[in-house]
A and B are shown apart, each in its own frame.
Chain A
Amino acid sequence: MVHELNLWPLIGVAVIVAGFVLRFNPMLVVITTAVATALAAGFDPTKVLATIGTGFIKTRNLPLIILLPLGVIGLLERHGLRQHAQAWIANIKSATAGRLLLVYLAARQLTAAMGLTSLGGHPQMVRPLLAPMVEGTAETRYGSLPERIRYKLRAYAAATDNVGLFFGEDIFVAFGAIVLMSTFLSEAGISVEPLHIALWGIPTAIVAFLIHAWRLLRLDKALNRELGAAKDGEEAR
């Protein structure tokens, strides 16, 4: 029995980084990495297959959150949900892309901090409602948008949902990560109240909000700079 640590599995890290950097198909990169890592750890081919199979079965809960809402969202889109969301937000004259995202960020972070993490999400909130609304406000203000700006706004909508979720849920005391942390620490012989971990997350959560909010307001300024001039030019004619 060798007691030295086997460093060969680090090959896996190299394979995955190289694969993503060289822009190979991610499915191929992941499966190659999985096989390479397992072989480097000294597993025989049967154990390699079994490790991959067991891992895939254990993580079956991951796609549910994306797959389940698709039927509803698809039907609603067929009946004009995205178009209606855009028209609806156009009624709010003071709305800008950045301000709308700022309100969403605050709402997402606060509700997640209360444990209500399912109030947002990419398939059920960002694609059918938030992204069309953000595009709608920008269109009301600047007229039709160049593709590049449209994609940028959508990416910001998705990013804002993530930031709100991540830095909200972690200050909810019953959140899985908090339980995981206090369990791990108590096994290492350090007893920590879950509530204290949740509370000490608050400073970072506030800083996260301030940083992202600042970037959202800068997004408005950038839109004004790039598109505002074009619109003024049209009106002057």
Chain B
Amino acid sequence: MNNGFSLGRVGAMVRRYVYLLRSSVPRILDLVYWPLVQMLTWGFLQTYLAKAPAAGPIAGRLGLAAGALIGAMLLWDILFRSQLGFSVSFLEEMWSRNIANLMMSPLRISEFILSLMVMSLIRLAIGIVPVSLLAIWFFGFNLWGLGLALGAFFANLVLAGWGLGLFVSGLVLRYGLAAESLVWTMMFLMLPLACVYYPVTILPPWLQVFAWALPPTYVFEGLRALLIHHEFRGDLMAEAFGLNLVIFAAAVIGFQLMLENARRAGSLLQTGE
């Protein structure tokens, strides 16, 4: 009998989430809908600003023609959707009152977390790939053209999304579906602080300290450096990666603690809608 880590059990959970996703066309469409709406909104805004006569030299300095706005929007969506992809799969278990079945099964927490990560990537791919291709067609912005830099941006953003997703899922596990709204809203706390659409130097100095504590800040600064100055900032990516590892490890510990807390409170048998 296999008492250790089992990829078979990870595969079983991923299979379940794929079945769940496949069973609902509206949910599949939802994965594409918001990224598409966002891409069109920011893409047209960028086109307008780049072409506005008064904006001329400023637009050039801001890298609008190079796609700084639409690029930032697409990367923000990778961050947000990776967290949602993780947390929504977890919420599916809570909505269906299935969490006790899982916790009573041989499934290990590490296997559960890995399956949520895999599912996050699948959901992310469904949403981002078609929208990024449409961005080429509509606005001539090729996210894939960022090459290896995109890989570094992607890895750091997804890791940050998983860290937050894991932490929020722990809160839902501990406090039940009363904490569900955090899944949908907590990432937006990061939107102003991670400096998605503007450089960190815009923030007051005291707030910059908090901004630099967030791994996505390094990614968005790195994107602007690449698009405006044509420079890949490997140092920023390395710092973001180190920070991500620390935050993800803290999220894993936090999730474990909240699971223990839920077991202590007896709430694993009481969760549900």
Is chain B found bound to chain A in the same assembly? no
